């Protein structure tokens, strides 16, 4: 079977539709069927409802269709829609949803009330925004398997007191077990990006730690400010002062010094405070 994910097929398809990879949408297409198959097999099984962000010309979508029960794929680039109709025509278990994934109202999506696996070769320019969008949604996410720039991948597991420890890494670590799946050389893409990539898996924890999004976002709002000065913009000062006393926090502590458990304790108190 001739898969989409080869260099010759990718060039042939783009030429047939008179298209070029668009930088503004972060288009770098996977051209190695082995790696694509590995990602899809890791992410899903025959019962999985998969949600893909950015099917491109269908390289990963094809393997998601082969390995899942059903695939919903969100593509922003309208010029790819007729192309995807053709490249994925033999799969009857995939639906392309046109539009910007960042503007999707999940409650209106056909997969909203189902358990899903999110799988994507993410456009690098919006990796963080996309991750925030899905993890702070009400979606029932079992697992996220995404390809990101190698150095971005290392940041998700950042520990306190490091520069990469931030609102996103804290929320991710509190809700998911994070594991590298495989490194992917830049040469397995067309066109080749300037950096290598890594596939990371986020497996929903059986017992996630509750950490309030508003709290962590506020805590890291201005990194150079103390935690207190950031929090006082959004929470009553008497509540913060009482919390500092209860948790034994120093007045000049910064958000990056607090571990996940401390954020969880603060969340319990602050979650209902407006």
Name the residue nearer to ligand SAM (CB basis): 55 or 153.
Answer: 55
Work out whether 175 is an interface residue with ligand SAM (CB under 6 A): no
Q: How many residues bind ligand SAM (CB under 6 A)?
A: 22
DSSP per residue, 22-63: -GGGT--EE-BHHHHHHHHHHH--TT-EEEEE--TTSHHHHH
Does residue 3 touch ligand SAM according to CB under 6 A? Answer: no
Helix or strand run (H / E) with residue 130: helix 127-135
Indicate which single residue of 13, 29, 117, 198 sits in contact with ligand SAM (rule: CB under 6 A).
29
Query: Which residues on neighbouring strands pair with residue 202, listed in sequence order?
Result: 144, 178
Alpha-carbon gap, residue 155 to 224, rounded angstroms: 19
Q: Assess contact for 125 and 175: CB atoms under 8 A.
A: no
CB closer to ligand SAM, 119 vs 215: 119
Q: In degrees rounded to 5, what are phi and psi of residue 224? A: -75, -15
In the numeric block, which tokens belong to residue 236? 């009553």
52's tokens = 């893909």
Give the separation between CA 255 and CA 224, rounded to whole angstroms. 10
Nearer to ligand SAM, 24 or 224 (CB): 24
Of 32, 62, 77, 256, the one binding ligand SAM by CB under 6 A: 77
Residue nearer to ligand SAM on the CB measure, 27 or 50: 27
Q: With CA atoms as reference, report the closest residue to 109 among 98, 93, 123.
A: 98
Q: Is 197 in the site for ligand SAM (CB under 6 A)?
A: no
Write each residue from 40 to 69 as x if it is in contact with ligand SAM (CB under 6 A), else as -, in one continuous string: -------------xxxx--xx---------
**What track of x and - describes contact with ligand SAM for positions 100 through 139 (by CB under 6 A)?**
xxx------------------x-x--x-------------
Q: State the Cα–Cα distance between residues 76 and 273, nearest whole angstrom.
A: 38
Of the candidate residues 9, 13, 14, 26, the single one contacting ligand SAM (CB under 6 A): 26
Nearest to ligand SAM of 148, 255 (CB atom)? 148
User: Which residues contact ligand SAM by CB under 6 A?
Assistant: 25-30, 53-56, 59-60, 74-77, 100-102, 121, 123, 126
């Amino acid at each position: 079977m001739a898969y989409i994910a080869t260099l010759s097929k990718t060039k042939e398809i783009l030429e047939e539709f008179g298209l070029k990879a668009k930088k503004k949408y972060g288009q770098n297409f996977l051209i190695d069927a082995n790696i694509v198959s590995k990602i899809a097999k890791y992410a899903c099984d025959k019962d999985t409802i998969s949600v893909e962000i950015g099917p491109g010309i269908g390289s990963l979508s094809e393997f998601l269709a082969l390995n899942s029960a059903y695939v919903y794929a969100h593509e922003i680039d309208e010029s790819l829609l007729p192309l995807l109709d053709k490249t994925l025509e033999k799969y009857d278990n995939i639906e392309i949803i046109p539009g910007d994934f960042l503007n999707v109202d999940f409650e209106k999506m056909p997969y909203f009330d189902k358990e899903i696996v999110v799988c994507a070769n993410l456009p690098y320019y919006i990796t963080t925004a996309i991750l925030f969008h899905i993890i702070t949604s009400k979606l029932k996410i079992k697992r996220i398997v995404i390809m990101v720039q190698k150095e971005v991948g290392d940041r998700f597991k950042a520990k306190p007191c490091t520069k990469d420890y931030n609102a996103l890494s804290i929320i991710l670590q509190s809700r998911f077990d994070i594991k590298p799946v495989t490194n992917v050389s830049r040469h397995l893409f067309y066109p080749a990006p300037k950096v290598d990539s890594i596939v990371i898996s986020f497996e929903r924890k059986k017992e996630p730690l509750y950490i309030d999004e508003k709290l962590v976002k506020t805590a890291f709002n201005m990194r150079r400010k103390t935690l207190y000065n950031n929090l006082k913009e959004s929470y009553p000062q008497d509540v913060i002062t009482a919390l500092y006393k209860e948790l034994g926090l120093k007045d000049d502590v910064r958000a990056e010094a607090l571990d996940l458990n401390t954020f969880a304790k603060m969340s319990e108190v602050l979650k209902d405070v407006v």
